[in-house]
């Protein structure tokens, strides 16, 4: 009877252990997704798909898969290494990121950085040499940014903006050896709005950047109001480009599928830009961060759907 009771207990306890392991795995996976900012990777996938369709047509299944794997994994690598170097900054700014909370060890972030970078570069090398060069240059810049460039006013911001816009150049070279006018304009629009968003980020994180890493960001050099004015100007130029594309550039010309989401995007970005000029509280900063991310996601969706 005792043996049967012990055996029954083991049968009943095994599923509980399994559930605990599954829960632990899921929590670790969620922490990894937060560390590598998979929402940004999703936006990169949309950008690459849009660029490929605008530049010509979607490639075959194998090349298409490789063209999406490369930016996703390089992006994962860049965010992991950024959080590694920004650990003290995030602590000062009270950011509940996985390295700060202890969900992921700093040493694990290094392994994730290296492995993700290698996967991304290997995938790009199997497409063509132009795509590999683009991936390699921006992969190395991602490491250099986290280590040093972030501390250089405006240069670090410009790198992040380039990393947001480069998928359109990258996607174009996956299917074509040339850059069309539409791709160039999209690149400029995303770069300018991305640069504005990054300047807003330096305003939001100015205290932590200066205390933890002694970063001389643009707000520390010219002040928060002047920096907000620069960001607003960049947003307005990007908005003007989006309007020009609606009136002049195919497949966006008089295309309501493009016009409706891009109009919402422009309104949200204008609101964010003006808000940073007249508000300075943390709640608005957090709202603006999410709002600008949603706006840029809508812009990518508009660009993706327009050629269909």
**CA angle, residues 205, 210, 215, in degrees to nearest 5:** 95
**Torsion angle, alpha carbons of 256, 258, 260, 262, to 10:** -150
- What the chain holds in terms of domains, given with CATH numbers, is 41-305 (1.10.357.140)
Kindly state the DSSP code that residue 177 receives in the 8-state scheme. S
pLDDT 10s digits, 194-231? 999 999 988 887 766 655 556 677 888 888 899 999 99
Give all strands (DSSP E) within the chain, no chain letters.
Answer: none
Angle between helices 282-305 and 256-278 (to 10 degrees): 160
pLDDT 10s digits, 72-114? 999 999 999 999 988 888 887 778 889 999 899 999 999 999 9
């Amino acid at each position: 009877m005792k043996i049967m009771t012990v055996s029954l207990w083991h049968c009943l306890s095994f599923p509980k252990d399994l559930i605990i392991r599954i829960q632990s795995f899921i929590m670790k996976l969620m922490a990894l997704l937060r560390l590598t900012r998979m929402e940004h990777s999703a936006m990169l996938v949309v950008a690459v798909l849009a660029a490929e369709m605008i530049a010509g047509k979607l490639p075959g299944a194998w090349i298409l898969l490789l063209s999406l794997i490369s930016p996703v994994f390089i992006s994962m690598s860049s965010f992991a290494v950024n959080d590694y170097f920004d650990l003290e900054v995030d602590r000062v700014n009270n950011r509940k990121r996985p390295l700060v909370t202890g969900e992921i060890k700093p040493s694990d972030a290094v392994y994730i950085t290296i492995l993700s970078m290698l996967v991304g570069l290997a995938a790009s090398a199997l497409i063509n040499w132009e795509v590999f060069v683009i991936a390699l240059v921006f992969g190395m810049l991602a490491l250099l940014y986290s280590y040093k460039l972030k501390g250089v006013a405006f240069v670090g911001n410009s790198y992040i903006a380039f990393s947001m816009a480069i998928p359109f150049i990258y996607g174009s070279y996956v299917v074509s050896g040339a850059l069309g006018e539409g791709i160039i304009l999209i690149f400029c629009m995303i770069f300018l709005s991305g640069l504005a968003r990054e300047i807003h980020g330096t305003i939001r994180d100015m205290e932590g950047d200066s205390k933890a890493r002694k970063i001389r960001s643009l707000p520390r050099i010219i002040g928060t109001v002047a920096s907000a004015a620069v960001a607003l100007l960049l947003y307005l130029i990007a908005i003007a480009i989006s309007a020009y594309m609606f009136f002049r550039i195919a497949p966006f010309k008089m295309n309501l599928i493009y016009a409706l989401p891009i109009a919402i995007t422009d309104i949200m970005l204008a609101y964010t830009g003006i808000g940073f000029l007249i508000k300075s509280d943390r709640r608005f900063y957090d709202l603006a961060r999410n709002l600008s991310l949603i706006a840029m996601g809508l812009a990518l969706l508009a660009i993706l759907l327009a050629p269909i």
